[in-house]
Structure 1
């Protein structure tokens, strides 16, 4: 579910940009989101693999940003969380290949969905994490 994963990731990244110098534990982040820390940790793994954050274990551990918020575009976060999937999904079933529409629908949908993803990414490309953070 890209729509909720992006919201969670952006919330996490906004917190980390506000507390840029601090190591934030997942429980603190989860408290801000009002969700289970396990869900936060799942997104933290993605953000770490994407090169956005670093982590430190121990009593004073947690996570923090690797780059300045001014160097991170919202589209970077979106594209990482979205991965190779599209925001919208095709039907899981296989359409009828004998049908005029059924035999072509997936190709046509792929083109539309790619256009939608590009439009979202282009819009998010206009804003940095720093600019978003400054709204709070």
Structure 2
């Protein structure tokens, strides 16, 4: 897994961006996307860069440029989106016990394993859902 570079907020904005793109006819300019999501364009472009690198969306630069989905929403799993964001699953410090002297080494190890297991559960659940599942009417 790549180094975690963002937080769960990025995952939420990425999902919302993909839903807007799925419902948008043609290329959606980043300014229009930011307007629809009530987000800052600079922040949104950082997220879109991750989605492009993951092969979930494509970008066309220039005056008539914008973003569009590469795949149908039913082919994009939420796990793909999550992994493209390298999102931190839990808030900073969640079950961070490595430096705590009040726990025995076995307890520290068990808590660290629990954190890893929980992330696995989340990814497993996200693998079961697609972008299309979020768009059902």
Say whether the fold is shared (TM-score over 0.5).
Answer: yes
2:123 to 121, 124, 131: 121
> Per-residue displacement from partner, 1:54-74 (whole Å, max 9, x unpaired)?
111112101111111111111
Q: TM-score, normalised by structure 2?
A: 0.81
Match in the other structure for 1:28: 32
Query: Residues 77 and 127 of structure 2 are in contact (CA less than 8 Å); yes or no, is this contact kept in structure 1?
Result: yes
Query: Residues 98 and 108 of structure 2 are in contact (CA less than 8 Å); yes or no, is this contact kept in structure 1?
Result: no
Match in the other structure for 1:44: 48
Query: Residues 97 and 108 of structure 2 are in contact (CA less than 8 Å); yes or no, is this contact kept in structure 1?
Result: no
SS in 1 for 2:68: strand
Query: Residues 97 and 111 of structure 2 are in contact (CA less than 8 Å); yes or no, is this contact kept in structure 1?
Result: no
> Per-residue displacement from partner, 1:53-107 (whole Å, max 9, x unpaired)?
1111112101111111111111211122135x553545387233xx5x1544542
Whether 2:97 is the aligned partner of 1:79: answer: no
> Per-residue displacement from partner, 1:28-69 (whole Å, max 9, x unpaired)?
111111111011001011111111111111121011111111
Query: Residues 79 and 127 of structure 2 are in contact (CA less than 8 Å); yes or no, is this contact kept in structure 1?
Result: yes
Structure 1 runs (4+) greater than 4 angstroms displaced: none
Query: Residues 14 and 129 of structure 1 are in contact (CA less than 8 Å); yes or no, is this contact kept in structure 2?
Result: yes
Query: Residues 15 and 29 of structure 1 are in contact (CA less than 8 Å); yes or no, is this contact kept in structure 2?
Result: yes
> Could you tell me how far 1:126 is from its partner in structure 2?
2.0
Q: TM-score, normalised by structure 1?
A: 0.81
Q: CA RMSD in A?
A: 2.2
Between the aligned partners of 2:45 and 2:82, the Cα distance in structure 1 is: 18
Are the structure 2 counterparts of residues 86 and 127 from structure 1 closer, same or farther at C-alpha, using a change threshold of 3 Å? closer
